[in-house]
Amino acid sequence: MATPRSTSRDLALIAIFAGITFALGLVPPLYVPISPVPITAQSLSCMLTGSIIGARRGGLALLLFLVLTAIGLPLLSGGRGGIGAFMGPSAGFLIGWPIVTWLIGLLTERVGAPYRVGAGLGINALGGIVVLYLFGIGGMILRTQMTLPAALLANAPFIPGDLVKVVIAALVAKGVHSAYPGLLQQRRTAGAGATVA
């Protein structure tokens, strides 16, 4: 049963990481001619949030961010907000954010503490690139009637920056978990159950 202290901490972490997502949106978006979707820094938040505060809290943080965006707050990169943001070519990416964050958090929790950069790189790449692109490409096809090859080509410019985000998120997560142990459970060892770090 959650104590008031743990519940308050969870709520604070959810709010903080929703705020971090907004802060990353202050970085101006980069538009490329072959894509209807701008390159932004906000997808980094999916990797950071899942890697640091885990599946449940991380997914809720990004869901909170999207709810605030949907009701009209200009939280997306470029000052966008409102329900219209979910009707455009980037809708698939937005819908994928809380799901991807939850997945990254779940896999990070399964690996357990201490946080390992090598595993983090793989988890971030799987969730933050492979799975997120599935949502994003699907959304682009549905909202713009693009063909699959055209949608794949439109996402190609995202890859270099997203690979950098994978590394940044893993290194930052390592630093945070080293400074604040207890966010992840210890890895299971033979003959012993998982204990909280």
The domain locations on the chain are 13-179
**What pTM value is reported for the model?**
0.89
Class of domain 13-179: mainly alpha
Q: Show the tokens assigned to 23.
A: 């802060």
Query: For 46-90, how does the pLDDT look when each residue is reduced to its tens digit (9 = 90+)?
Result: 999 999 999 999 999 999 999 999 999 999 999 999 999 999 999
Short-list 143, 146, 128, 163, CA closest to 34: 146
CB count within 10 Å of CB 128 equals 29
